[in-house]
Amino acid sequence: MLSWLARIALVCWRPVRRYARMNKDNINLNEFDFSDSALRDNLLWCKDLEKHSYGDFSFAVVQANEVIEDHSQVEIGRDATFVGVYDGHGGPEASRFICDHLFLHLMRLARENGAISEDILRSAFSATEDGFLTLVRRTCGIKPLIAAIGSCCLVGVIWRGTLYVANVGDSRAVIGSLGRSNKIVAEQLTRDHNASMEEVRQELKSLHPDDSHIVVMKHGVWRIKGIIQVSRSIGDAYLKQPEFSLDPSFPRFHLPEPIRRPVLTAEPSVYTRVLQPNDKFLIFASDGLWEHLTNQEAAEIVHNNPRDGVAKRLLKTALNIAARKREMRYDDLKKVEKGVRRFFHDDITVVVIFVDHDLPEKMISIPELSMRGFIDTVGPSKFNILQGHDANARSYV
């Protein structure tokens, strides 16, 4: 009996919406005080360091919105590691659905095909999209706005020494590798599917040559059909199939004319890399982190600091920069309540995966779920970890 991915380590959260980037010039990343006493924040949760199949990992998440809409997860087994960051918008249904189904689709397809591959990842995304659209079809009669709920989706799998990354939306995966003189070099592994990117706008225009309003500048921001920034997602059914069009009673999502073809797609960009000895760590994060840190800045923070709590360090660096942009101290920012706090920064999820190449080689097997767990928010300042198949919970405050 082949076995893989023995347990889910965590599920954390974070919603979307993007504000214009502001200049970070003259901000010294080394001057912030990162002591817990100075920066304790009841909207921030973290796990400083845990083990996974190929080394250690660290995660942190901060809430800004009134309702947390997003999920993320790390699945750990003896021979493989799975990471998912699901950046929801409009509500929690899409990101929750992805968290509950995408990994299971991936394991089923891996068992059926005997391997992990780019095509397997694409099929897992497609099956998850189809499942969520079926849910929308069943429930839109009583909850029409479910047609406007969607999620970005970033997934990484390390299997047999190979890294597979797939994404829709603008969450980002960055790898830190040692270059010359032992300096860390950051490389972005994913494409940002966001209308702020010229290449994305050109792609949309080429796919919709008969639609002069496929991308529209609105309030200083490029948006698809004047509504949404991300060009790929799971969900957002009203922008994919005419049957899910919303009527004028929902002016934010109403389209003057029915769509002739899908405006958004759930087709992921996929990247494969055989991990090399100079590849040291991976950063998976929602777009809220990258609004305030460049890829290189984030990689240098991870490289130049202890592993223990490094995801929290990345997150707090971003929050300090966000506070400085508003001429505040983070000590003041952390007192701002959820909802209002969204005007200062986005919700942010960060997962840092370290890759230790000196670990003994292991027998690699096909995925098979043997135990499950998940973290679910139960209030503004704590979450529960439910272990295995029972309902016994441990709280972290």
Per residue of the chain (397 residues), what is the pLDDT tens digit?
333 332 222 222 222 222 222 233 445 566 666 666 556 788 888 899 999 989 999 999 988 888 887 788 999 887 789 999 998 999 889 999 999 999 999 999 999 998 899 999 999 999 999 999 999 999 999 999 999 999 999 999 999 899 999 999 999 999 999 998 889 999 999 999 999 999 999 999 999 999 989 999 998 999 999 999 999 999 999 999 999 999 888 888 988 888 888 999 999 999 999 999 999 999 999 999 999 999 999 999 999 999 999 999 999 999 999 999 999 998 999 899 988 988 998 888 999 999 998 764 543 444 444 323 222 222 222 222 222 222 222 222 1
Scored b (16 or more CB within 10 A) or e, 187-226 reads ebbbbbbbbbbeebbeebeeebeebeebbeeeeeebbbbe
Q: Residues 359, 370: contact at Cβ < 8 Å?
A: no
CATH number at 344 reads 3.60.40.10
pLDDT for position 171: 97
Range of the domain at 342: 7-190+269-396
Structure token digits, residue 187: 């490389």
Tell whether 246 is covered by a domain: no
Distance CA 154, CA 146 (A): 21
* Helix, strand, coil percentages for the chain (3-state, nearest 5): 25, 30, 45
Tell whether 287 is covered by a domain: yes
Tell whether 106 is covered by a domain: yes
Tell whether 52 is covered by a domain: yes
Tell whether 199 is covered by a domain: no
SS3 call for 35: coil
Tell whether 80 is covered by a domain: yes
Tell whether 254 is covered by a domain: no
Split into its structural domains, the chain has a count of 1
Which residues is 60 bridged to in the sheet? Answer: 46, 350
pLDDT for position 39: 61
pLDDT for position 298: 98
Write down the H helix ranges in the chain: 36-39, 93-113, 118-139, 198-207, 287-290, 295-303, 310-325, 330-333
pLDDT for position 320: 93
Q: Which of 292, 281, 291, 305 is nearest to 34 (CA)?
A: 305
SS3 call for 39: helix
Tell whether 172 is covered by a domain: yes
